[in-house]
């Protein structure tokens, strides 16, 4: 975990395969290394033709509290994260916290719901297949490294794990990951990039889902990142399994 000092926060829109997505970017200086780093958080799809929907004050406050607890969890364990700390981080009174959430646990569950939304949006990018087989292989490698090194809501999932509440979330993520991979492999077959039977697709999507889950385990649960060679090895394994 980084011991960091926030320098600025802003919102950007990225275009990925013709679709626009909104991200909040928090730039901070790592107090240990002195390097400036960026933390990206997915906010949702961007619609350039429509102005963003206005949020009520209550919704804004709930979002502030969820953002605050995620920042705190990036810096320290759930056991040290009190309601007072969360309210202070969010810039609201402690009484305001209890107008929106009955407890820390209820707030954490709300965060887990948002994490699932981010996870599902990440999975959708699987289907933005490149226009050539070689480009798709390179894109897939990048997606694998990204999913292993920056799994959505890692700090929230770790907090849920410490409280014994990850069972249902883990199962949901695994089912949706496998379903997305199944659709992805079928689309690769439709493009002629791979040759797989329906049985191959079912078995491979199941295996890949388990493999990606195990790779992400170290980042999410052990809170340790792989080194560059290990990321490359993870991408190579998936590449060889898919484009064999």
Other beta carbons within 10 angstroms of residue 145's beta carbon come to 19
The string of pLDDT tens digits covering residues 135-153 is 999 999 999 988 888 888 8
Task: Give 52 or 211, the one with higher predicted confidence.
Answer: 211
The string of pLDDT tens digits covering residues 175-208 is 999 999 999 999 999 999 999 999 999 999 999 9
Within 30-129, residue ranges assigned H as helices are 57-75, 83-90, 94-100, 104-124
CB 135 within 8 A of CB 239: no
Q: pLDDT class for 235, splitting at 50, 70, 90?
A: very high
**pTM for the predicted model, two decimal places:** 0.70
Cα of 73 vs its chain's centroid, Å: 15
Q: Where do the domains of the chain lie, and which CATH numbers do they carry?
A: 1-49 (no CATH), 55-101 (1.10.10.60), 115-125+132-242 (1.10.357)
């Amino acid at each position: 975990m980084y011991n960091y000092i926030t320098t600025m926060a802003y919102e950007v829109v990225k275009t990925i395969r013709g679709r626009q997505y909104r991200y909040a970017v928090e730039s901070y200086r790592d107090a240990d290394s002195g390097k400036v780093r960026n933390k990206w958080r997915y906010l949702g799809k961007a619609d350039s033709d429509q102005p963003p929907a206005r949020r009520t004050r209550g919704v804004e406050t709930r979002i502030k509290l969820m953002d605050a607890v995620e920042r705190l969890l990036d810096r320290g364990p759930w056991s040290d994260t009190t309601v007072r700390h969360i309210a202070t981080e969010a810039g609201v009174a402690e009484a305001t916290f209890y107008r929106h959430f009955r407890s820390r646990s209820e707030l954490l569950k709300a965060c887990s719901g948002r994490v699932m939304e981010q996870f599902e949006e990440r999975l959708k990018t699987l289907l933005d297949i490149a226009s050539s087989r070689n480009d798709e292989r390179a894109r897939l490698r990048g997606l694998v490294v990204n999913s292993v090194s920056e799994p959505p809501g890692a700090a929230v999932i770790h907090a849920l794990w410490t409280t014994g509440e990850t069972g249902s979330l883990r199962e949901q993520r695994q089912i949706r990951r496998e379903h997305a991979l199944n659709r992805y492999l079928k689309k690769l077959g439709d493009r002629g990039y791979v040759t797989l039977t329906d049985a191959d697709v079912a078995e491979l999507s199941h295996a890949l889902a388990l493999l990606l889950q195990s790779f992400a385990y170290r980042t999410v649960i052990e809170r340790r990142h792989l080194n560059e060679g290990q990321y490359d090895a993870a991408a190579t394994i998936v590449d060889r399994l898919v484009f064999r």
